[in-house]
Amino acid sequence: MKFSPSLFEFHNVTLTRQDNEILKSVNCTVLKGEYCAIIGPNGGGKTTLIRLLMGLDKPTSGTIKLFGVEQHQFKAWHKIGYVPQRSALVDASFPATVREVVAMGRYALRGILSFESAEDKRIIEESMEQMAVSDLRDRLIGHLSGGQRQRVMIARALASHPEVLIVDEPNTGVDVESQHRFYELLRSLHKTRGISILFITHDVGVIAEDISKLFFVNQTLLVSQTPQEIVGCESISRLYGNPSHVLTHNH
């Protein structure tokens, strides 16, 4: 049996704000090479779980490990490509071209007062090509469509050469056609580049086919198992607390 090192580990993680338990005793592990989805009702703590993982919020108790290292000692943040919720909603007049945005993915890897190396340039070009945004390089990010902006944000995340890509509700403000292309892209990145994927979605139907692990978050981590066991309407209804129907897309 092939050993897969853990990317992320949550051990009894609890987050309390003003006596309200946002997340309670979360225990889970994401392994290298996995393609994971996080689902759950609004306000259930999905985004908070990711923010805790990225160190943007601090847990009240419990420990989080990234790549086997305690979070407070972890330095290799470039290994994680992070695309937060609503990141594609950019101010229309913000002076940033597509290339400048993608180049930000290299910033944390460069020293202070350093110029772009030949390798930086190559990786930026590669990331733009992979996300099919090379033609848009000189356009302002705020002038693009929602789907195009979303691809630019993924290109920025890819420019740090991440081992795992975390995407929070990728389809906020994006049309259906772009959503389909987006999920196709995530699959392709997982299969061709071997990047582990962890994404939050409301779109339960899209996860039915090839997700290797599914997390259901509603104040605590209720489920962590293969999607085939959970995407049945009855299971979803039970978890969300009201009758639900799963609509699958043909990708």
Partner 1 sequence: MIEMLNYPFMQRAFAAGLIIAILAAISGSFIVLRRYSLLSETLAHVSLVGVSIGILIGSNPLWMAIIASLVASWMIEYLRSVHHLYSDSILAIFLSGSLALAIIIVSLAGSFNASLFSYLFGSILSVTNEDLIIMAIAGTAGMALLLLFFKELYFIAFDEEVARASGIRVGLLNFMLVSVIAVIIALSIRVVGTLLIGALMVIPPVAAIRFGLGFFKTMLLSIAIALVSVIIGLSASFFFSLPSGAAIVLCLLLFFIAALVINLP
> What are the residues binding partner 1 (CB under 8 A)?
54-56, 75, 77-78, 80, 82-84, 87, 93-97, 99-101, 104, 107-108, 110, 112-113, 138, 140, 143, 156, 160
Q: Given phi > 0 = left and psi -120 to 50 = alpha, else beta, which region is 198?
A: beta
Q: Which is nearer to partner 1, 39 or 98 (CB)?
A: 98
Instruction: Give the shortest CB-10-to-partner 1 separation in angstroms.
Output: 17
The H or E element that residue 123 is part of is helix 118-130
Q: Which is nearer to partner 1, 1 or 92 (CB)?
A: 92
SS3 52: helix
Choose between 89 and 233: whose C-beta lies nearer to partner 1: 89
Q: In angstroms, what is the C-alpha Rg of the chain?
A: 18
Closest CB 9 distance from partner 1, rounded Å: 18
Residue 119 vs 184, nearer CB to partner 1: 119
**Cβ 84 to partner 1 shortest distance, Å:** 5
Q: How far apart are CA 1 and CA 73, in angstroms?
A: 31
In angstroms, what is the minimal distance from the CB of 138 to partner 1?
7
Residue 146, φ and ψ in degrees, nearest 5? -60, -45
* Long-range pairs, 176-183, Cβ under 8 A, ≥24: 177/147, 178/145, 178/146, 178/147, 178/150, 179/203, 180/249, 180/251, 181/147, 182/147, 182/150, 182/151, 183/249, 183/251
Residue 148 CB, shortest distance to partner 1, in Å, is: 16
- Please give the Cα distance from 85 to 175 (Å, whole number): 16
> Shortest distance, CB of residue 60 to partner 1, whole angstroms?
18
Tell which residue, 153, 160, 215, has the closest CA to residue 186: 153
Nearer to partner 1, 79 or 187 (CB): 79
Residue 31 or 54 with smaller CB distance to partner 1: 54
- The answer to whether 235 touches 193, Cβ cutoff 8 Å, is no
DSSP state of 117: P
For partner 1, which is the closer residue by CB, 33 or 84?
84
User: What minimum distance in Å lies between the beta carbon of 81 and partner 1?
Assistant: 9
Which strand (E) or helix (H) includes residue 21?
Answer: strand 20-31
